[in-house]
Chain A
Amino acid sequence: MSGGRDEGVSDVSEEEAAFLPSMPRGWFMGHPFFRWYMFREATSVFLTAYALDLGIGWLCLVRGPEAWETWRAVHAHPLGLAWTAVALGFSLVHTVTWFQVAPKAAPQVIRGRQVSARLVTGSLWALFVGVSVAVILVGVL
């Protein structure tokens, strides 16, 4: 675990700072559960970056065929494909972990009957397969 406390790095007020616990910087590296937690949270950085990338693609699409072909060529380049592969990997980690915790956010009882975690997760995976097939079919039509 790395040392170093976190004073002086915040932009909260002094009153708020008084209530903030001080933690070692690398606190999550000591336990597999916390490492997995931070990895899971990190998926959002890649989802955000790729969503912005797709937004740039949309902008190119609006600007015309020439701009769109440039965006396409960048993403067909081996480095572009590697970037997409990394983003796809994190996106799938997000899907797996999101469906794992979804039963905790879903209603526990519907019409007096217990809703099992397996039913919630199973339904979401069925939805995932259906949506994925639809998106790919529409995309390559």
Chain B
Amino acid sequence: MRWRHHEPLFWALFGAGGMLAAVAMPAVIVVVGVLWPLGVGGGSHAQVVAVVGNPVGRVLGALLLSLVLWHGAHRIRHGMHDLGLHPGPVARALTYGLALAATGGLVVLALAL
């Protein structure tokens, strides 16, 4: 039988990503997007690899970014209804497909660091 009720799975990913984003994204943006580029308290390749490249950093980093992307994919897909663009298979492929591809990419990056 075809599994018709995929919404709970995508809603769970949306919820998990939304919670992680709400709790952690502002601080992550301040550190990675402001402090490191300006060289406040580090930011060199070796220093950043020490923070992101340890096992905890790899797992938390990949988890945060991939779940935020699943959150965004779900919210953007549903938001398209509000703009009068009714998402069908193409929109699904572009939103959830991008999130899935990015998750795979992040796993590869986490293993490669």
Contacts and interface: CB of A to CB of B under 8 A. Distances in A.
Contacts of B113: 58, 61-62
For the residues of B in contact with A, the DSSP-based class is: helix
Nearest to B65: A51
Contacts, number: 180
Given A6-B84, A9-B85, A94-B25, A105 B31 contact: no
Interface in B10-47: 15, 18-19, 21-46
A115 interface: no
Interface in A41-85: 41-42, 44-45, 47-48, 50-55, 57-59, 61-62, 64-65, 68-69, 72-73, 75-76, 80-81, 84
Interface residues of A, number: 64
A135 B28 contact: yes
A25 B82 CA distance: 9
Interface of A: 5-6, 9-13, 16-17, 20, 23, 25, 28, 38, 41-42, 44-45, 47-48, 50-55, 57-59, 61-62, 64-65, 68-69, 72-73, 75-76, 80-81, 84, 87-88, 91-92, 94-95, 98-99, 102, 105, 124, 127-128, 131-133, 135-136, 138-141
